[in-house]
Amino acid sequence: MTGNREIDSILQRAADGGRITPGEALLLYTEAPFHALGEAADTVRRRRYPDGIVTYLIDRNINYTNVCVTACKFCAFFRAPKHGEGWAHPMEEILHRCAEAVDLGATQVMLQGGHHPEFGVEYYEQLFSGVKAAYPQLAIHSIGPSEILHMAKVSGVSIEEAVLRIKAAGLDSIAGAGAEMLPDRPRKAIAPLKESGARWIEVMATAHRNGLSSTATMMMGTGETNAERIEHIRMIRDCQDLAVANGYRDDAVETSHDVGGFRAFIPWTYQPENNHLKGRTQATTMEYLRFIAVSRLFFDNVAHLQASWLTTGKDVGQLSLHIGVDDLGSIMLEENVISSAGARHRSNLHELIWMIRSAGRVPAQRDTLYRHLAVHRTEADDPTDDRVVSHFSSIAMPEGGRQNLPLVDVK
Residue 14 lies in a domain: no
Orientation angle between helical segments 5-15 and 22-31, nearest 10 degrees: 120
Residue 364 lies in a domain: yes
Provide the 3-class DSSP secondary structure of residue 79: strand
Per-residue pLDDT band for 340 (boundaries 50, 70, 90) equals very low
H or E stretch covering 214: strand 214-220
Please give the pLDDT value at position 275.
44
HSE toward the beta carbon, residue 364, CA cutoff 13 A: 20
Q: What is the pLDDT of residues 155-173, one digit of tens each?
A: 999 999 999 999 999 999 9
Residue 18 lies in a domain: no
Nearest to 68 by CA among 336, 400, 404: 336
Provide the 3-class DSSP secondary structure of residue 220: strand
- Count CB neighbours of 57 within 10 A: 23
- φ, ψ (nearest 5 deg) of residue 343: -70, 120
Structural domain tally of the chain?
1
Please give the pLDDT value at position 258.
64
Q: Which residues contact 257 (CB under 8 A, 6 or more apart)?
A: none
Between 223 and 200, the more confident residue is 200
The domain that holds 207 is classified in CATH as: 3.20.20.70
HSE toward the beta carbon, residue 284, CA cutoff 13 A: 4
Residue 168 lies in a domain: yes
Distance CA 19, CA 248 (A): 21
Nearest to 391 by CA among 330, 341, 350: 330
Q: Please say if the pLDDT value at position 403 is more than 60.
A: no
Nearest to 355 by CA among 402, 392, 315, 410: 315
Q: What is the pLDDT of residues 193-208, one digit of tens each?
A: 899 999 999 999 999 9
Residue 5 lies in a domain: no
Residue 3 lies in a domain: no
Distance CA 147, CA 121 (A): 10
Residue 129 domain boundaries: 32-403
Residue 258 lies in a domain: yes
Q: Please say if the pLDDT value at position 300 is more than 60.
A: yes
Residue 107 lies in a domain: yes
- φ, ψ (nearest 5 deg) of residue 52: 70, 15
